Amino acid sequence: MTGWQVRPERPEDFDAIRQVLVAAFGDDEVADGVDRIRASWTYRPATALVAVSGDEVVGCVMIDGCTLTGDAGERPAAMLTPLAVSPGHQRRGIGAALVRAALAGAEQAGEPLVVLEGSPKYYGSLGFRPARDHGIEMRLPDWAPPEAAQVYLLPAYDPADPTLRGTVGYPPVYG
């Protein structure tokens, strides 16, 4: 039994989610990006989740729409961004629970894969693998190692499907 639960976000959570994002990332940039996602086609409310402890929002995750463009053309795909847990609630498994719940939602929606940019150590422990090994490229910031580009393969993934290889076009989370 844990003291928190994961559920889809609701409009009345948006201010509290902003506070979690600002506290976790240290500035408004990602919170502003979440507002842009919610206003764009990339917003997927079924995989925009919060962790709540009592009435308090203590974490959030989003799996958004993105694009994958390769030799076979452009197709929609799914990207996990952002993930945040309030500093006072970290290291209790809330981040992992949010990721697992969001992946379950993406699987239910029939997604073949979920890409992300993040720590290979953290996300590798949750089943993510280097994106490049599966023919997926991401334009990373200069400071990020190539292994930061990762992918989680869901049951609908077909390695023979050429539309599942290419370069990721990001949702509008960063500027």
Ligand X SMILES: CC(C)(COP(=O)(O)OP(=O)(O)OC[C@H]1O[C@@H](n2cnc3c(N)ncnc32)[C@H](O)[C@@H]1OP(=O)(O)O)[C@@H](O)C(=O)NCCC(=O)NCCS
Residues that bind ligand X (CB under 6 A): 24-25, 82-85, 90-96, 118-119, 121-122
CB 107 within 8 A of CB 80: no
Closer residue to ligand X in complex, CB, 141/155: 141
In the complex, the smallest distance separating the C-beta of residue 14 from ligand X, rounded to whole angstroms, is: 18
Closer residue to ligand X in complex, CB, 90/163: 90
Closer residue to ligand X in complex, CB, 35/165: 35
d(Cα 66, Cα 171) in Å, to the nearest integer? 5
In the complex, the smallest distance separating the C-beta of residue 61 from ligand X, rounded to whole angstroms, is: 8
In the complex, the smallest distance separating the C-beta of residue 23 from ligand X, rounded to whole angstroms, is: 9
Closer residue to ligand X in complex, CB, 93/146: 93
d(Cα 126, Cα 15) in Å, to the nearest integer? 28
Cα 19 to Cα 6, 16, 39, 70, distances in angstroms: 17, 5, 19, 38
Q: Of all residues in this chain, which one has the CB nearest to ligand X in the complex? A: 95
d(Cα 137, Cα 37) in Å, to the nearest integer? 21
Cα 58 to Cα 45, 64, 86, distances in angstroms: 18, 20, 5
Closer residue to ligand X in complex, CB, 67/90: 90
In the complex, the smallest distance separating the C-beta of residue 86 from ligand X, rounded to whole angstroms, is: 8
In the complex, the smallest distance separating the C-beta of residue 113 from ligand X, rounded to whole angstroms, is: 17
**Beta-carbon count within 10 A of 131 CB:** 23
d(Cα 78, Cα 142) in Å, to the nearest integer? 23
